[in-house]
Structure 1
Amino acid sequence: MSINGNIEVLKEDLVMFLFDKGAIKVGDFTLSSGLRSTFYLDLRILQSYPVFFRKSISLLKMLVLSHIGYDGFDFICSIPTSGTIFGSALAYELFKPHSYLRKDSKSYGTKRKLEGVIDSKSNMIFVDDVVTTGQSIINGVNSITESKICGVFVVVNRGQGADKQFKKMGIKLYSAVTISEIFNILHKKKKISNKEVQSFFDELG
């Protein structure tokens, strides 16, 4: 089987697993950002299922290597809490240094916002599990002014504004699985109806 064939199998396996576990749901939901959505998505359960967590990390690894290359960056940075789960595992897999940015600086001790070590003027990628508006990552990017951001890598892009925000900043966003691919897989497997698929694409505009 080709590399692309392996990727498609990994995507399908991951999507079907998440759907069967209730980590992907179709309906009417209000997100933490306040946005309304026709679908619910939560990848945090993957850490409890090593086989499928490994599949998500494999997808991220192939994504990074195909678009940036192993020598194209020096550090991996993530945003707590979910992003750190995936960022640290990917760093281990790629044998790259990992750090993470706190949402708020510590109010005690050294009052650090960055946990870990990043060399100044280094090449860096950001990693997260899911991106919606991208604001949490943008806040992180803006707090690291000396490093070059080579790209943002996520398992799933919800397709709700992050692409435009990163484009304005001159940063490329890469996703292992798009939300459109998720809906197409679920529809192909007869897990969702034509009406539900149409509602989703109407939401994306």
Structure 2
Amino acid sequence: MADLEELAVQLFDAGAVRLGDIEAKVGRRTPIYFDLRVIVSHPRIMMAVARHLEKLAKEINHDVLCGVPYAALPLAAVMSVNTDTPMIMKRKETKLYATKRLLEGIYYKNQKCLVVEDVVTSGGSLLETVETLRREGLVVSHAVVVLDREQGGASVLEANGVIVKSVFSLSCLVNTLYKAGRINDETVGMIVDHIKECQFGMKDNLD
């Protein structure tokens, strides 16, 4: 547990956790925002995050990895190298020339694909990737994520046949940062209220 607590503080100090009245996706506002893209500039932190994701992945039977574009791609790549597990990449849009593929890499029908994601809020981005993989004949039943914001996304994904395993839940992360003196009581209260007030379901999986 101590190494997870240390990692939480490192992520905060590196700027991967931002506080304030911040505009998130689709015009939503949040008192806490996660930008895990910054960890590409912090190799040790990125390695630590990948290692924790690998621990979760060990419990899941899979043949290939696929990171949700774009923030999770570096993490999936590190996991692939560390565990000698093949990786495939989903493009944001279909390639308009040559192979015209939406997925890059080598894969086969009925292979088990483990999806890697940075943050799950409503589950929409992850679900979009899952649906693409399934259309290509891959079997997707699990995803490993760095943070579950506990706003309904995991339930949306479970309803679509995907079990989410997370390194951090938002509640645990906030509690850790509070104990470490990085955030105060007022901020904790605002975040707890935000989790309760902003819950997503099947009709609003927009993240």
TM-score scaled by length of structure 1: 0.89
Which has the higher mean CA deviation after the structures are superposed, 27-36 or 90-99? 27-36
CA distance in 1, matches of 2:47, 2:83: 13
Q: Which residue of the other structure, out of 101, 114, 121, is the alignment partner of 1:112?
A: 101
1:167 has 2:158 as partner: yes
CA distance in 2, matches of 1:93, 1:121: 24
Aligned 8 A contact 1:128 1:153 in 2? yes
Q: Which residue of the other structure, out of 21, 29, 53, is the alignment partner of 1:60?
A: 53
CA distance in 2, matches of 1:122, 1:48: 33
Which has the higher mean CA deviation after the structures are superposed, 111-120 or 188-197? 188-197
Aligned 8 A contact 2:130 2:140 in 1? yes
Which has the higher mean CA deviation after the structures are superposed, 172-181 or 13-22? 13-22
Once the two structures are superposed, residues 138-188 of structure 1 have per-residue CA deviations (whole angstroms, 9 ceiling, x without a partner) of 112112222221301111122233112101112101111111111001111
Aligned 8 A contact 2:116 2:145 in 1? yes
Aligned 8 A contact 1:10 1:55 in 2? no
1:194 has 2:185 as partner: yes
Percent identity, please.
29
After TM superposition, give the deviation of residue 109 of structure 1 in Å. 2.0
After TM superposition, give the deviation of residue 25 of structure 1 in Å. 1.9
TM-score scaled by length of structure 2: 0.88
CA distance in 2, matches of 1:33, 1:178: 22
Aligned 8 A contact 2:15 2:38 in 1? no
Query: Structure 2: 5+ residue runs without aligned partners?
Result: 197-207
Q: Which residue of the other structure, out of 175, 178, 197, is the alignment partner of 1:184?
A: 175
Once the two structures are superposed, residues 38-79 of structure 1 have per-residue CA deviations (whole angstroms, 9 ceiling, x without a partner) of 1021111212112111110111011111x31xxx11111122
Aligned 8 A contact 1:73 1:123 in 2? yes
Once the two structures are superposed, residues 69-116 of structure 1 have per-residue CA deviations (whole angstroms, 9 ceiling, x without a partner) of xxx111111222111111111111111110011121012222110011
CA distance in 2, matches of 1:81, 1:200: 26
Q: Which residue of the other structure, out of 108, 116, 123, is the alignment partner of 1:127?
A: 116
1:11 has 2:4 as partner: yes
Q: Could you tell me which residue of structure 2 aligns to residue 77 of structure 1?
A: 66
CA distance in 2, matches of 1:99, 1:177: 25
Q: Hey, which bits of structure 1, 4+ residues long, moved more than 3 A?
A: none
CA distance in 1, matches of 2:194, 2:121: 14
Once the two structures are superposed, residues 16-54 of structure 1 have per-residue CA deviations (whole angstroms, 9 ceiling, x without a partner) of 112222221222111124322110211112121121111
Q: What RMSD, in angstroms, separates the aligned Cα atoms of the two structures?
A: 1.4
Give the letter for the 1:36 counterpart: R
